Amino acid sequence: MDNPVLIFGANALGRAAKDIFENNGNVVYGFLDDDKKTHNKEIDNVVCLGSTDDDGFLKLIGKKCEAFIAVDDIKLKKNLTEMLHDVRHVQPVNAINTQSSMGSHVELGHGNFIDHGARVGTGVKLGSHCIIHANAVIGVGAEIGDYVQIGAGSIIGTGVKIEDEVFIGAGATVVADITIGKRARVGAGSVVIGQVKSSETVFGNPAQKVNT
């Protein structure tokens, strides 16, 4: 990637993404964030230039800059992704830490964040706009949908299928060949040994449905 990167989100995730890009030899052009308190301020030696809808900077994307969306709110992330696609005709780039491990024959979408120590096994299908936190492990042949968040230190077993917009908390374990339905949530430290239906929240060891 030759062009500099403009990061949407001057938050902790944005700062981590900045480190990833710089360690990969990429230049970070700046941050865009809707919190006006961050505007024109240096964050880790990079300036927050303005809001995420600032056309003066958006018009650089696709010509002179790449974009990365460092946002964990799914609705906002979708809105920003659609804007980049519809207005700038681009997809956000992936932020992959040099200290992560990618197996062979991995299928990778757009706009993913993969932090240090994460291990993605052989034959994994990883969708787009996912957040894979530090030291998470995704087993051989697992299928991960779009807008999925997998917490630090979580273990996703071989052949697991995780559908779109699932949230998995830190330190969770999902045993092999389980399916977790769309928009489901798995609490931190849980051990999932059975199927999880769409929009269910589960917690515990073994994980049980929680009424929310």
pLDDT digits over 42-97, tens only?
999 999 999 999 989 999 998 889 999 999 999 999 999 999 999 889 999 999 99
Q: Do domains 5-93 and 94-204 have the same CATH topology?
A: no
- CATH topology for 5-93 is Rossmann fold (3.40.50)
Distance CA 142, CA 74 (A): 22
Q: Is the pLDDT of residue 134 over 90?
A: yes
Q: What is the helix (H) or strand (E) element at residue 56, kind and residue range?
A: helix 55-58
Sorted by sequence, the CB contacts under 8 Å of residue 113 that are 6+ apart come out as 13, 16, 17, 20, 68, 70, 94, 95, 130, 131, 132
| Spatial contact of 169 and 192, defined as CB atoms under 8 Å apart | no
The per-residue pLDDT for range 196-210, each reduced to its tens digit, is 999 999 999 999 999
Looking at domain 94-204, its CATH architecture is 3 Solenoid (2.160)
Domain boundaries of the chain, sorted by first residue = 5-93, 94-204
Q: What is the rounded end-to-end Cα distance, in angstroms, of the chain?
A: 44
Tokens of 116: 């240090």
Greatest Cα-to-Cα distance within the chain, rounded to the nearest angstrom: 51
What is the DSSP code string of 67-80? EEE----HHHHHHH
* pLDDT at site 2: 79
Give the single-character DSSP code of 86: I
Nearest in space to 81 (alpha carbons), one of 164, 16, 156: 164
* pLDDT at site 76: 94
Distance CA 56, CA 95 (A): 24
